[in-house]
A and B are shown apart, each in its own frame.
Chain A
Amino acid sequence: MGILNPAALPLLAVLGILVLIYLRERWRTRIEVPSMLFWSLVKEDKARVRRFTPSLLFLLQALLLALLIGGVLHPFRSQIVTETRGNRHILVIDTSASMQAREGRTQRFDLARDQAKKVVQSFNVLDEVMLISVSTRPLVVSGLTKDHLLILHLLETLKPVDTGTNLDLGIELALAQRDREGRQGQIYVFTDQPTNVLNLSADKLKELAYYRVGKTDDNVGVAALHLHQNPFQSYSQAQAYVVVRNYAARPKTGILTVRLNEKQMLRREFTLPAREATSFSVKGFEGPGKLIAQIETDDALRIDNQALAWLAELRDRRLVLVSGVKGLQEEITRVSEAIPGLILTVLTPERFSPAEVRPQDVVLFHQFVPSATVSANSLYVFPQPQNPLFPAVAEAEDVSILDWREEHEMLRNLHYVDALPLKKARVLALPSWAQVLISSRTKTSEVPLAFTGEKDGHRVACFAFDLGKGNLTNSDNMTLLLLFLNTMRWLSPADPTTPTLVPTGEAFFLPPGAGPDSLRLLSPQGEEQKIETDVVEIDRVGEYRLTGSRYRGTLYANLFDEPESDIGRREENSQPVTMTQVAAKAPQELTQSVPVEFGRTLYYGAVSLILLEWLYSLWRYYRTSRA
């Protein structure tokens, strides 16, 4: 016995309320007598009279309430039941890019699907089946169902995508689903991956029925397309490198073609020894546009035979320097003159107004923080102690750099960050939106020396130290100059017309304000779909187009995934690949204790009680009327 809804227990207080109502009624109710003549002799007993004594009516009403509350509590009693129950089976099928590899006249995925179908057809009719597909993320295609035809149909509708795989996660999900209700079940894995690439314990591996498909390793693919062009370089200065890798265990030949806006820039035949790679350099581009690197070869996997990149046009960028220090103005002027496409505007803090700044500018505030918000990416250098953004807590001298985030774009190629000359710095209060880039430490806390973040939709960087006179262009302080240039590059806003490069399997987040309303996505296969969320899943290589009333954009999706392209992965251990076969199990007779709720019975009891009361009062009424 127990209850399923203990939250309704406070309702029992209603019984107490009923007692109070009765007590109140008793205290309030007067019994009219014709005279106190005879009662004045009888001793008064207030305490006994006021005491609660249940009457038949009270007991009936309490019973009625108890029945109703009992119903709300959802009481249950345990009942031993024996049922015939089928076994549980969970199918995990790999839908990653490598499953598209051709095996003779068919695809690996078709082989896996055929095996999965055979397995499903061998199940007993009472067996429950779940289907999970795995690419970069697992997806429960169907929950546990006895409808085997539905599973077969869903298997037919599955297609492999152009992404990597995370089979471990899929198997972990299957294991979790299997153990969720404490019932055992069999997990079947259909993939082209060897078991040794899985990060699963040997015990878990033993529990799997592992069906590995695919034997060929015949694949040549574009392993990388690097385009070297910084924001201050024109397309003519850009240089592209195409890396082509042979994943087969035998030499392969092919032709690499590089086209810019469909115009051929390079066509080169190549022969690659077994499991070797080579790179091709392309430069001297004549204009901006779409760059395609494509190889023509006879291999099993086609989707990695092409890669896309975008060659950007050089745009003039304006740096607005707001500083009252003449020495710094001169140094920044010298630096800007050396950077093509960078236009410098120098303002003193007194002459600065937010209206002077355009969204595509970069603003450098030196020892000055404006009170109004600036609608552009900005760098604050050595802000004055009293300022609204980063109030100074203390002053520091001869600070040593102890930590930095070397993966950040602003510190790229900076090997000697700790060599920055920091004679004087301010200890600034770190805003909530900022992340520390370079830091030192005191005995008690971290001291941020440089930090970055995004505020009001614009990038913000802040140096807590000063770019003193002669520091920036001094040949001894190359680290500082590189940090400054990297910062300018990081702060330079991206060209909204430039396509975004996204690896397949990753999600593209729509920029703020773009919104999914009326936004449509045209996939590389030419399929158009409406975007419902702020995230676009990229699972095909090629060019995606986003069109909407508030946003237009292009995405280039490439598959640079060596494990996926290496379709002939072999077991590194000496164990041979074995196809585990699981014999079909008969349905099991299961005896278990199940809770049987009887709240409804209590409701019926309450209704019956009311009916009986009503009939009784009706009978009494008729009897009285007749009398």
Chain B
Amino acid sequence: MGVIDSTFLRQLDRLRVRVRTARGLRPGETQIPRSTQAWGIEFESYKEYTPGDDFRYVDWNAVGRLNQLVVRTFTAEREIPYYLFLDSSASMGAPVMDQKFTFASDLATALGYVVVNNNDPLRLVVLTAPDKGHPPFRVAPVLRHRSHFSRLPAFLATLVPQGKTYLREALRAYAEQTREPGVAFVISDFLLEAPVYEEALLLMKARGYEVKVIRVLGAAELSPEKLFRRGKLYDVEDGRERWISLSKAHLQQYQGALQAHLTALQQFCHQHQILYAQVSTDTNLTTVVSEELTRAGLLAFR
């Protein structure tokens, strides 16, 4: 499990996913505020008795005071389906020193633990390149219980970042075939043109998903001077080459373009009420999960 050890898991036990609107159809353990049901544990309010209501929930004290038949209602408890969309394109594996994909896999594992720890169903969807008629994603078996958690890192260990990024195509294809939307974590480096990821995220939102974006960045991406000074750059996805000498001006140009791209995604998420977090691979995973993701509102303490 790499960096995910028992100490880290104990820390994760204290966390839960902050959910705003998503809910499932099946009863579960997640209380849905301002949403009632006829049975339950947590008292929510009263309602006038209507034929068919369970007599056991008639509050006779209130009937005595109000001289009216009222029935107690309870806070609704539902299970919430979670979807972890993990980008496994070649860009997640480059540059090697950043180990973005490893970091993203560990992060997905940690999020998966938080989800299944709450006995909610979790589906891991790996975004890949389309292959011989297959859709551009791979889906791991649904994890419904904490005891299933160990399957998740085992599945992630089989993945290798490769191929082009098909974020838009993959999310659309998966959303179209899924009937029950839920909370969707999209973990990617988002190295795409803005219209592409915007279309993909809006599509998810339109389908009823509560989308949460986690952008993974490598240290060498943020500071390319750590990677090289002069050299022939090679795009691992489309094979393009470019001879770059990294002068101060060139570095500023690069940083400007990167910053603009980061800001664009962040602003887009803000405008469309999508929770957004940007994490760097040179940050400790514990810090990322317990501090940065909670600060960004993706997770919360129980």
* A interface residues with partner B (beta carbon < 8 Å): 26-27, 29-46, 48-50, 53
Contacts and interface: CB of A to CB of B under 8 A. Distances in A.
Contact of A42 (B91, B237, B238, B254): B254
B292 interface: no
B254 A35 contact: no
A51 to B, nearest CB: 8
A contact face: mostly helix, strand, loop, or mixed: mixed
Q: List the 8 closest A-B pairs by CB distance, nearest first.
A: A34-B91, A30-B234, A35-B191, A38-B257, A46-B243, A48-B245, A45-B245, A49-B243
Contacts of A34: 90-92, 94-95, 100, 189, 191, 218, 221, 235-237
A32 B221 contact: no
Contacts of A32: 94-96, 234, 236
B261 interface: yes
A29 to B, nearest CB: 7
Interface in B15-54: none
Chain B interface size range? 35 or more
Contacts of A48: 230, 245
B242 interface: yes
Given A31-B228, A32-B96, A44-B243, A39 B233 contact: yes
Given A32-B236, A33-B235, 7 more contacts: A29-B232, A33-B236, A34-B218, A35-B235, A37-B192, A39-B242, A45-B243
A49 B221 contact: no
Contacts of B91: 34-35
A38 B233 contact: no
B82 to A, nearest CB: 27
Contacts of B140: none
A24 to B, nearest CB: 12
A48 B250 CA distance: 13
Contact of A43 (B191, B224, B250, B261): B250
B244 A49 contact: yes
A343 B44 CA distance: 159
Given A37-B261, A38-B257, A44 B237 contact: no
Contacts of A39: 233, 242, 244, 254
Contacts of B218: 34
- Counting chain B CB atoms within 10 Å of each CB, which of A27, A31, A37, A46 scores highest? A31
Nearest to B161: A34
Nearest to A33: B233
Contacts of B258: 38
B90 to A, nearest CB: 8
Given A35-B91, A49-B243, A53-B230, A41 B254 contact: yes
B240 interface: yes
16 contacts: A31-B232, A32-B94, A32-B95, A34-B94, A35-B91, A36-B233, A37-B192, A37-B257, A38-B257, A39-B242, A42-B244, A42-B253, A44-B243, A44-B244, A49-B232, A53-B230
A26 B231 CA distance: 7
Contact of A30 (B227, B232, B256, B257): B232
Given A33-B95, A33-B233, A38 B261 contact: yes
Interface centre among A33, A36, A37 (most CB of B within 10 A): A33
Contacts of A26: 230-231
B241 interface: yes
